[in-house]
Amino acid sequence: MIIVVAYNTKPYWEDYIDTSLWNDAAAQLDSFKEKPEVKNTLNDLNERFSALIFGLEDSLKEAKQDGKETQEAADAVEVSKPQLSKPDNQVFSVHNLEIGDTREQAEQILGDPVRSSVNEYGVEWYTYHEDYHNFMMVSFDETNQVSALYTNQDLIASDSGAGLNSSKDEIHQVLGEPISKIRKGLVYYQLQNNGEYEIYQRDDSYITVFYDKHENDTVTALQIIDEDLEQDKKEIYASETGELKEGFEYQLFDLTNATRVNHGLPVLTWDDHVRSTAREHSLDMAENNYFNHTNLAGQSPFDRMQEDDITFTVAGENLAYGQFSSIFAHEGLMNSEGHRKNILKEEYEFLGVGVAFNQESQPYYTENFYRD
């Protein structure tokens, strides 16, 4: 009914147009267009418009090609995962390496390390990855044989097929019962039993299997330490050194990025400025025997960052305390819902890690994340 009414009332709300006036105006416009100066201007505008259109088409083609190349690069990373072989002499191998293999073998498989840093055993972790894909760490003893291995990616092989993402039951079927204590000198240390990791003594090595509570207690990482290397470490906590502090910091940074890659997230950029903020908070906690995001002066992580002239639009902080190493600290953080969210927050761009030790050599870890 509304349409009918509108049609019938049209003459009342639309003005009448005299067609003779329109014809005169059209004739004048045609005459105006024929003037030389007008024709030149119109031709110039037409050429510029055509150039703009072609330029946009070229840009779109380039963008499409860049996107194709980016996808091809991502596919290449995916395809470049190594072919894993079953171990020859031990329960597990990592990227086809076992404890006792030579440095030469490792270099043939892995190439040059991306980073080396001191670990709690007083030797270097050599870190290998391709933009944090195929991430692993390797240590060598004085005879240049592999003495330690770690990975949190799909580089684990075994005769049984157990590896990354295996269930806890599958690991128990392969390795049996985990040990509940470890001896250092004349002292036995009781190991925690919260289900986040289990330690086994096999093949003259200590095998630590880490589990992800948020993924049905499936295997999320594996560490293998040669028995002699473990026994050379006389205390459960390593003594503080400047090299170890820095080693723990960079190791926690690398572990965080390797985990982000596992979840399809962009890697973070190391930031020395916020590392200083993180170090100060770790030292404050260690010296004053507390463990909290709010310091004794009542400052939050955001207050401390602003005080250090760090500008951010979004920021976060993770804390850990008392773990044997950055590996144990990181795996523990990933099993804590709030800390896990920080590690896997897509918006972050930068990360700085600060470590300090208390009088008992127990490390305090602070991670400060932010986006400017």
CATH code: domain of residue 294:
3.40.33.10
Q: What is residue 84's predicted lDDT score, i.e. its pLDDT? A: 87
Judgement on whether residues 208 and 98 belong to the same structural domain of the protein: yes
Residue 28 predicted with pLDDT over 70? no
Q: Give the Å distances, CA to CA, from 201 to 94, 175, 224.
A: 17, 9, 10
Q: Is the pLDDT of residue 292 over 60?
A: yes
* Sequence-ordered list of residues with C-beta below 8 angstroms from that of 17, at least 6 positions apart, any chain: none
Of residues 342 and 28, the one with the higher pLDDT is 342
The pLDDT assigned to 43 comes to 63
Going across the sheet that includes 197-202, the strands are 115-118, 124-130, 133-140, 146-151, 218-226, 205-212, 197-202
Question: What mean pLDDT do residues 300-306 have?
Answer: 96
Per-residue pLDDT tens over the stretch 196-223: 999 999 999 999 999 999 999 999 999 9
C-beta of residue 209 within 8 angstroms of C-beta of residue 166: no
Tell me: do 174 and 222 sit in the same domain: yes
DSSP symbol at 116: E
Query: Which letter does DSSP use for residue 152 in this model?
Result: S
- Tokens 């690398």 sit on residue: 254
What pairs with residue 270 in β-bridges? 351
Beta pairing partners, 205: 202, 226
Q: Is 87 in contact with 159 (CB distance < 8 Å)?
A: yes
Which segment of 27-41, 49-63, 143-157 scores lowest on mean pLDDT? 49-63
Based on the domain organization, do 259 and 232 belong to the same domain? no
Given a contact cutoff of 8 angstroms between Cβ atoms, the answer to whether 370 and 317 are in contact is no
Is 292 part of a structural domain of the chain? yes
Q: What is the DSSP letter of 214?
A: G
Average the pLDDT over 325-338 and give the result. Answer: 96
Same domain, 299 and 173: no
**Do residues 157 and 197 share a domain?**
yes
- How far apart CA 257 and CA 270 sit, in angstroms, is 10
Q: Supply the pLDDT for residue 45.
A: 54
Last residue of a domain, one of 236, 260, 288: 236
H helix count then E strand count, the chain: 11, 15
Residues 6+ apart with CB under 8 A from 270: 250, 253, 350, 351, 352
Per DSSP, what are the bridge partners of residue 166?
A: none
Domain containing 361 equals 246-371
Q: How many domains does the chain have?
A: 2
Q: What is the pLDDT of residue 82?
A: 85
Specify the pTM.
0.78
158 inside domain: yes
Higher per-residue confidence, 195 vs 286: 286
11 located within any domain: no
**Residue 76: inside a domain:** no
Same domain, 268 and 228: no
Q: Which of 184, 209, 236 is where one domain is finished?
A: 236
Six token digits for residue 109: 């498989």
Backbone angles phi, psi at 205, to 5 degrees: -140, 165
- What is the structure's pLDDT at 171? 96
Residue 22 has pLDDT above 60, yes or no: no
For 331-356, what is the mean pLDDT? 97
The backbone torsions φ and ψ at residue 222, rounded to the nearest 5 degrees and listed phi first, read -140, 130
Same domain, 306 and 170: no
Mean pLDDT of 224-250: 95
Q: ∠ CA 112-348-370 to the nearest 5 degrees?
A: 105
Q: Average per-residue pLDDT in the chain?
A: 85
Beta strand pairing status for 146-151 and 133-140? antiparallel
258 shares a domain with 148: no
Average pLDDT (277-299) is 97
